[in-house]
Amino acid sequence: MDAIRLVFSGSGGQGVITAAIILAEAAVIYSGKNATQTQSYGAAARGGVTRTDIIISEGVINYPGVIQPNVLMTLTQEAYNATSSIVRPGGLVLTDPRFVETAKKVDAKQLELPMYEQVMTKIGKPIVYNICCLGALIGVTQILEPEAVLDVLDERIPKDFINMNHRAFDLGLVLGSQYQYRRFT
């Protein structure tokens, strides 16, 4: 596997961009890989569809945009409608049934995981939803060691909130690990 290309999309405030930064940072700082992260700036970041592109690679990354992602994680219907068509044929689309109703025509493996429901029933705080999604993504794809992501969380998050974030991540990880997707070609 040369490079894995991911796109996260959702709405401003869901934390998709933070999740992307944490993932890419875990790749660079705790996994010895290269990664780039770019995002849509401006009005989109304050409502509307937010999109962020991540590339993780063992080698040098040149063009940082993602045209056909191996993995698309999309967390609102609007974002799904806007971005589901770009996924690489045979790629993975990860959604949450709480927010997204998937369409059959998408030529990819579509996985609907009840991440929001897990977070709300087990923790009750929507603020850690994005971390749960990240856990699920790692669980399904195993693109990084879970510890690398946890290390980033420990580094970035205020002490009082670390436990809650770890729990959210683990919830996602357990949920995602029941499935497997490893086709990064």
Partner 1 sequence: MTETKKIRFVQGNEACVEGAMYAGLDFFAGYPITPSTEIAEHLSERLPRNGGKFIQMEDEIASMCAIVGASLTGNKVMTATSGPGFSLKQEAIGYACMAEIPCVIANVQRGGPSTGNPTHVSQGDINQARWGTHGDHSIIALTASNHQDIFEITVDAFNLAETYRTPVILLLDEAVGHMREKLVIPEKGELPIVDRLRTSLGKDVDYHPYLPREDGRLPMSDFGGEHRYNVTGLYHDMWGFPSNNPTVVNQLLRHIVDKIENNIHSITRYKEHYLEDAQYILISYGSSARSAIQLAEDRRKKGEKIGVLELQSIWPFPSEVIREKCARARAVLVVEMNMGQVMAQVKAAVEKPKRVFLANRFDGKLITPHDIKSLLRMVQGRGV
Q: Could you say whether residue 35 binds partner 1 (CB under 8 A)?
A: yes
Closest CA to 94 of 1, 171, 176: 176
Stretch that binds partner 1, among 7-15, 20-28, 125-133, 161-169 (CB under 8 A): 20-28
Angle at 22 between CA 148 and CA 88, to 5 degrees: 100
Tokens of 185: 């070609």
b/e for 113-138, b at 16 or more Cβ within 10 A?
A: bebbebbeeebeeeebbbbbbbbbbb
CB of 59 to partner 1, least distance (A): 10
Which one of residues 12, 18, 29, 77 is an interface residue with partner 1 (CB under 8 A)? 29
Q: Could you say whether residue 34 binds partner 1 (CB under 8 A)?
A: yes
Considering the complex, state which of residue 36 and residue 95 has its C-beta at the smaller distance from partner 1. 36
Q: Between β-strands 71-74 and 91-95, what pairing exists: parallel, antiparallel or unpaired? A: parallel
Q: Could you say whether residue 41 binds partner 1 (CB under 8 A)?
A: yes
Angle at 74 between CA 69 and CA 78, to 5 degrees: 120
Considering the complex, state which of residue 25 and residue 96 has its C-beta at the smaller distance from partner 1. 25
Per CB under 8 A, contacts with partner 1 among 49-68 are 61-65, 67
Number of residues this chain uses to bind partner 1 (CB under 8 A): 20
CA distance 116 to 156: 22
CB of 89 to partner 1, least distance (A): 18
> Which residues of this protein are in contact with partner 1, per CB under 8 A?
21, 24-25, 28-30, 34-39, 41-42, 61-65, 67
